[in-house]
Amino acid sequence: MRRSAFFISDGTGITAEALGLSLLSQFGGIEFNRITLPYIDTEEKAIEVVKKITLAAEEDDAKPIIFDTVVNHNIRDIISQSEGFMVDIFSAFLAPLEKELDTSSSYSVGKLHSINHNNHYSIRIEAMNFALENDDGAVTRNYEEADLILVGVSRCGKTPTCIYMALQFGIKAANYPITEEDLEEMRLPKVLRPFKQKVFGLTINADRLKAIRQERRPDSRYSSDRQCQEEIRDVESMFRREGIPFLDTTHHSIEEISTKMIAEKGIKRHI
Amino acid sequence: MRRSAFFISDGTGITAEALGLSLLSQFGGIEFNRITLPYIDTEEKAIEVVKKITLAAEEDDAKPIIFDTVVNHNIRDIISQSEGFMVDIFSAFLAPLEKELDTSSSYSVGKLHSINHNNHYSIRIEAMNFALENDDGAVTRNYEEADLILVGVSRCGKTPTCIYMALQFGIKAANYPITEEDLEEMRLPKVLRPFKQKVFGLTINADRLKAIRQERRPDSRYSSDRQCQEEIRDVESMFRREGIPFLDTTHHSIEEISTKMIAEKGIKRHI
């Protein structure tokens, strides 16, 4: 069984998509053909959308599911006349919220990801520059300024996690690779010791690490079974000995790792 | 007037927060005190949440607004007994969706950002590594592989946009800085010409550019009024002459710029 799912917005479509995917993920047996249509901000565009929905309904021989976060009434009215099954987020919740808050909503378009409304641009960019400059132990003099210092063996997922936390939460996260030499000492590297409270460890399944390293340097010592197993064993034992909290990235997404660390360390988000 | 707004989830909380902020952004006159509570996945944690809501209700002397995406019935029931005003996304939409899709939902927790469900981890990481390796014109030999090549003057917003597109959509975006020398030639740099179809320009308001560059190199020629104005004027005129589409990053968020480029160029998302 196949169904089309439309995510329609007058803004970026990111919220409609996030909510829609979250709801659809509860229906595992159905294959959804996903179509995101952002910036539907004129009646002309809405009419085109209705045509696409009609076409999908014919092809699937079933109502497409429509997740929309369009604010403008007229545009939403046009879309609601399509053959889709509307999950109309704003209709469902704006009226009750208006009542509860005893105020009218402004029904203004695309506010969430708009820079005017949400003046976090420079915080995010500064945090991202921090993550890039303090990636992979390249620089260690800025740890005073860091919200968090991620440590772990090469290719365990430190860089993407740091960058995600910068973009999503404005958190300044540096990262430092734990090398074989560090592991021989069986201690946290000296440069990190004064900042131990900010240090968080990442680990990963050895087979998965091997697969990732193989792509980088195939058939090297670096990507050998033995090397990966030893590094992981030693780094986890170092984390335990030093009392450094750590998470396994093997079965968790970047979003999960980031939000778990924030919760566990009680890190203040800047966004 | 002040209100507390809780975003509660058994997963990362990202969806509850995105939807909640989107709805609250329609109520500009009210200051919301935002509290995100992720990983509320046991009844014990739900009881703690209720206490927090009660406390906020007393402090604000008004019902906190609760946006929740908790899937588990028992946990949701506990939260719904709080003094908050529930915007219960799953209750509102899951039952109608079950009917329309003629199937039961699995009511399983935190699926959206779970790596098991959403096997996009390696696509994102590969795209992010591509963005980092091909940042700032550092390497130009991989343009064949790029989905997009962003160009613009130094500090106009290329790097964060490339990285965001990698993380959010798995798109491989390189970026290339347009220098004064390039601008003197008044043409697209030679190395980019074979890939013109993939090139997209970014521009920025000269005052804003100056402010950003001032932080980097204060009181330099690089950050002078004249330099910023000239570079922006010349790069926009080069974009026009070469027929390269471009966007102004001054008044748009990274999300907006990224989704607009994707829509305009018809780029295929890999996630």
What pLDDT does B200 receive? 98
Section B105-121 average pLDDT: 58
Q: Which residues of A touch B13 (CB under 8 A)?
A: 259
What pLDDT does B81 receive? 93
H or E element, residue B199: strand B199-203
In this complex, do A111 and B168 lie within 8 Å of one another by their Cβ atoms?
Answer: no
DSSP type of residue B191: G
What pLDDT does B112 receive? 55
What pLDDT does B118 receive? 47
Tokens 């018809």 -> residue: B266
**Alpha carbons A55 and A49: distance in angstroms, whole number:** 10
Mean pLDDT, chain B, integer: 90
Examine the pLDDT at B113 and tell me if it is beyond 70. Answer: no
Amino acid (1-letter code) at residue B57: A
What pLDDT does A23 receive? 85
3-state secondary structure of B211: helix
Give pairs for B42-51: CB < 8 Å, separation 24+: B42/B75, B43/B74, B43/B75, B43/B78, B45/B75, B46/B70, B46/B74, B46/B75, B46/B78, B46/B79, B47/B78, B49/B6, B49/B8, B49/B78, B49/B79, B49/B82, B50/B78, B50/B79, B50/B81, B50/B82
Tokens of B18: 């995105």
pLDDT tens for B146-177 read 999 999 999 999 999 999 999 999 999 999 99
Q: What is the ipTM of this complex?
A: 0.79
Q: Which residues of B touch A269 (CB under 8 A)?
A: 36
pLDDT tens for A2-34 read 899 999 998 899 888 888 888 888 888 888 999
**Alpha carbons B2 and B30: distance in angstroms, whole number:** 6
Residues 114-153 of A with CB under 8 A from B: 114-118, 121, 124-125, 128, 132
Examine the pLDDT at B119 and tell me if it is beyond 60. Answer: no
Section B72-84 average pLDDT: 92
pLDDT tens for A86-107 read 998 877 888 888 888 888 777 6
pLDDT tens for A119-147 read 577 888 889 999 999 999 989 999 999 99
Do A30 and B101 form a contact (C-beta atoms < 8 A)? yes
In this complex, do B101 and A160 lie within 8 Å of one another by their Cβ atoms?
Answer: no
A24: nearest Cα among B234, B106, B202, B270: B106
Q: How confident is the model at residue B116 (pLDDT cuts 50, 70, 90)?
A: very low
- The CA distance from A9 to the nearest CA of chain B, in Å, is 11
A205 interfaces chain B, CB cutoff of 8 Å: no
In this complex, do A19 and B23 lie within 8 Å of one another by their Cβ atoms?
Answer: no
Examine the pLDDT at A157 and tell me if it is beyond 50. Answer: yes
Q: How confident is the model at residue B108 (pLDDT cuts 50, 70, 90)?
A: low
What pLDDT does A108 receive? 56
Spell out the residues 6+ positions from residue A195 whose beta carbon is closer than 8 angstroms to its own. A143, A144, A146, A149
pLDDT tens for B64-76 read 999 998 888 899 9
Concatenated DSSP letters for A124-179?
A: HHHHHHHHHHTGGGS--TTTTT-SEEEEESTTSSHHHHHHHHHHHH---EEEEEPP
Residue of A nearest to B100 (CA): A85
Do B22 and A112 form a contact (C-beta atoms < 8 A)? yes
Tokens of A244: 């450094």
Tokens of B221: 């020629």
Q: Which of A28-32, A242-246, B51-55, B80-84 has the lowest mean pLDDT?
A: A28-32
**Alpha carbons A76 and A94: distance in angstroms, whole number:** 14
B48: nearest Cα among B75, B21, B11: B75
- Residues β-bridged to residue A176: A151
Amino acid (1-letter code) at residue A86: M
H or E element, residue A34: strand A31-37
B271 interfaces chain A, CB cutoff of 8 Å: no
Do A198 and A148 form a contact (C-beta atoms < 8 A)? yes
Examine the pLDDT at A207 and tell me if it is beyond 60. Answer: yes
Cα dist. B122→A202, A254, B170, B270 in Å?
Answer: 17, 11, 9, 11
What pLDDT does A41 receive? 93
Concatenated DSSP letters for A175-192?
A: EEEPPHHHHHHTS--GGG
Residue of A nearest to B130 (CA): A160
Q: How far is CA B200 from the centre of its chain?
A: 19
Q: Which of A148-157, B16-25, B46-55, B256-265 has the lowest mean pLDDT?
A: B16-25
- Residues β-bridged to residue A66: A6, A86
